[in-house]
Amino acid sequence: MVVAQQMNKPEYVERTKNYLEYLIKNDWTLSGAVTDTKGDRSKTPAGQAHPDYYLHVVDRNKDGIVVKGCKMHITAAPCCNDIIVLPTRNMQENEADYAVSFATPSNAKGIKFICRPSRGERSPNEYPSSLPIRDLNEAMIVFDNVFVPWERVFMCGEWAYAILLAYTFATFHRFTAVCYHIPIVENLAGCAVAMAEMNGISNEEHVKDKLVNIASYVETIKALAQAATLSPVRYGEIAVPSPLITNMAKLHYARSYHEVIKMVQDISGGIISTLPTYRDWENPETRPYMEHYLGGNPKYTTEERLKMVAHTHRWVASAESAHQEMITVHAEGSMETQKMMIMVEAPFKDYRDLALLAAGVEIKD
């Protein structure tokens, strides 16, 4: 709606309003399909080996448009009612057919999902979790000549606005990303504190140094998320969390996440990788040895320590944690895209003018 207003086309404003009402009335879930498969990254959509590396319009008539292409890595798409499609990058005049945005039911004719399955049942080797284990699945969505009626088309050919739509979506999306990461990194910090305590190393200088670094990392994300909401910019009638601070927050957590993982691994010790299985814990022959040898700080039982080890393994030493690292780097855009937005949004001219003033040099625009 933000971009529809800026395009100055009343039909787009009307359609986005209607669609929003439709979503609210039906309580529909949406997947956001932005990322194209992109082919050769050094080339623009029009310069690719074939025209379909970016989703585009292949036909239009009085009822609507027909689109072809593929969107990649689309989280939770198979579980959502509708898909909302946006361009992933800037477009040139000769790429107007790629400047397209629309919504479609996930089961519209011509849509194919090629899904990465979720992790499924946990193996009996793993320690049971007291909380439900949730998992995401992702889909490659093929649009094989899909018809979209005009009332669900929000951009079609306005190539100069494609980047604005991508940027605006990214600002909202990165803001939610920053917020959903807060409990994830608080949990990581908790693993570090608890494992240090259980291993009896909480008062060691190097451990305190790592805990300080981890806490600073976590609290900086929280402070930036708060600051982004407290310094909104207005796009027409809509308040948007500060794009500058939101991108700084996303860059901050993506840039240092792996460092924090390394510190948690260091504090926890090798057992987070080599812990004997839960079957061994349940086996009357092996359990007494585990009970006897795998204890730590006597404030906790061996079983409590092993539960914490299993939990920490999940977050910093498992296939699932490697996936989480990938989410941190690439989901919501790779780090270079955050830097691009910081470059656009940061008040470089103000910085320069202040320095010129301080140096007694005339400001020249």
Ligand X SMILES: Cc1cc2nc3c(=O)[nH]c(=O)nc-3n(C[C@H](O)[C@H](O)[C@H](O)COP(=O)(O)OP(=O)(O)OC[C@H]3O[C@@H](n4cnc5c(N)ncnc54)[C@H](O)[C@@H]3O)c2cc1C
Interface with ligand X, residue 38, by CB under 6 A? yes
DSSP state, residue 121: S
Interface with ligand X, residue 33, by CB under 6 A? yes
Size of the site for ligand X (CB under 6 A): 17
Interface with ligand X, residue 285, by CB under 6 A? no
In the complex with ligand X, the residue whose CB is nearer, 102 or 281, is 102
In the complex with ligand X, the residue whose CB is nearer, 16 or 88, is 88
User: Where does this chain touch ligand X (CB under 6 A) — which range of 29-37, 270-278, 307-315, 340-348?
Assistant: 29-37
Q: In this structure, how many other beta carbons lie within 10 angstroms of the beta carbon of residue 351?
A: 10
Q: Closest residue (Cβ) to ligand X? A: 34
User: Where does this chain touch ligand X (CB under 6 A) — which range of 156-164, 250-258, 326-334, 352-360?
Assistant: 326-334
Give the H/E segment covering residue 303.
helix 302-316
Beta 82-85 vs 64-75: how paired, if at all?
unpaired
Interface with ligand X, residue 48, by CB under 6 A? no
Q: Which of 20, 160, 223, 326 binds ligand X (CB under 6 A)?
A: 326
Nearest distance in Å: CB 169, ligand X? 9
User: Alpha-carbon distance 97 to 89, whole Å?
Assistant: 13
Interface with ligand X, residue 333, by CB under 6 A? yes
- For residues 179-215, one letter each, b for 16 or more C-beta atoms within 10 angstroms of the residue's C-beta and e for the rest, the string is bebbebbeebbbbbbbbbbbbebbeeeebeebbeebe
User: Where does this chain touch ligand X (CB under 6 A) — which range of 28-36, 143-151, 159-167, 293-301?
Assistant: 28-36
In the complex with ligand X, the residue whose CB is nearer, 222 or 323, is 323
In the complex with ligand X, the residue whose CB is nearer, 254 or 271, is 254
- For residues 320-332, one letter each, b for 16 or more C-beta atoms within 10 angstroms of the residue's C-beta and e for the rest, the string is ebeebeebbeebb
- In Å, how far are 37, 328, 331, 340 from 335, measured between CA atoms? 18, 9, 10, 9
Number of residues written out for the chain: 365
Question: Rule CB under 6 A: which of 70-99 touch ligand X?
Answer: 73-75
DSSP 3-state percent helix, strand, coil across the chain (nearest 5): 55, 15, 30
Binding site for ligand X (CB under 6 A): 32-35, 38, 41, 73-75, 138, 326-327, 330-331, 333-334, 336
